């Protein structure tokens, strides 16, 4: 629970390199995500090349933090593995969340940058990484050792909980 409740979006990183062993652990966690029909329709591109991190940072007005990251993971949906149409999005979201929680547990910082379903963003990543047509870039997660440590946010709101049926809250 601690890794879930203390996870924060980290947008500033130190220049300390992230060892390959930790990257493998992040990907192991991502691939442990639940998957509809166990189709596991994900592929991952690990990006360490500074030129590519810069290109991701320029891809949207919201991805500038990639410039300071030690690496980024591009989470992609593999439509060739899709057995249950449309569920690849949920599966890739679960893999992305697992990666974020694992990063926090390993002392790393990370943030979820959404690319899918914005076609212009998808096209940018598709071109940048030479992705085949059946591979859809879903999200990018910049990773590094955190340069800042925001306090955990308590987002629990009992007014959003309904038992047995919808009930308006006053």
CA atoms within 13 A on the CB side of 8: 15
Q: What is the 3-state secondary structure (H, E, C) of 64-89?
A: HHHHHCCEEEEEEEEHHHCCCCCCHH
- Rounded distance, CA 121 to CA 35, Å? 25
**Confidence (pLDDT) at 168:** 87
Residues of the chain with pLDDT under 70: none
Q: 2-145 — its CATH code?
A: 3.40.109.10
117 contact partners, CB below 8 Å, separation of at least 6: none
Give the pLDDT confidence of 55-90 residue by residue, as tens digits. Answer: 999 999 999 999 999 999 999 999 999 999 999 999
Q: Among 109, 129, 120, 14, which residue's Cα sits nearest to residue 59?
A: 120
* pTM score: 0.96
The helix (H) or strand (E) run that includes residue 140 is strand 135-144
**Residue with tokens 């007005």, as numbered in its chain:** 61
**Confidence (pLDDT) at 100:** 98
**Confidence (pLDDT) at 169:** 80
**Confidence (pLDDT) at 37:** 96
**Confidence (pLDDT) at 166:** 95
**Confidence (pLDDT) at 138:** 98
């Amino acid at each position: 629970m601690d890794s879930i409740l203390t996870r924060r979006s980290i947008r500033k990183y130190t220049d300390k390199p992230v060892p390959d062993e930790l990257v493998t652990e992040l990907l192991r966690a991502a691939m442990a995500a639940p998957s509809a029909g166990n189709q596991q329709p994900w592929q991952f591109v690990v990006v360490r090349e500074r030129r590519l991190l810069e290109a991701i940072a320029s891809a949207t007005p919201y991805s500038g933090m990639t410039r300071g990251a030690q690496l980024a993971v591009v989470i992609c949906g593999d439509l060739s593995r899709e057995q249950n149409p449309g569920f690849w999005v949920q599966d890739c979201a679960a893999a992305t969340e697992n990666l974020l929680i694992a990063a926090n547990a390993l002392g790393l910082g990370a943030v979820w940058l959404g690319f899918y379903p914005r076609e212009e963003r998808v096209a940018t990543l598709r071109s940048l990484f030479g992705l085949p047509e059946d591979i859809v870039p879903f999200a990018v997660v910049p990773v590094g050792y955190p340069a800042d440590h925001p306090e955990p946010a308590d987002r629990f709101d009992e007014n959003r909980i309904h038992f047995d049926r919808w009930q308006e809250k006053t």
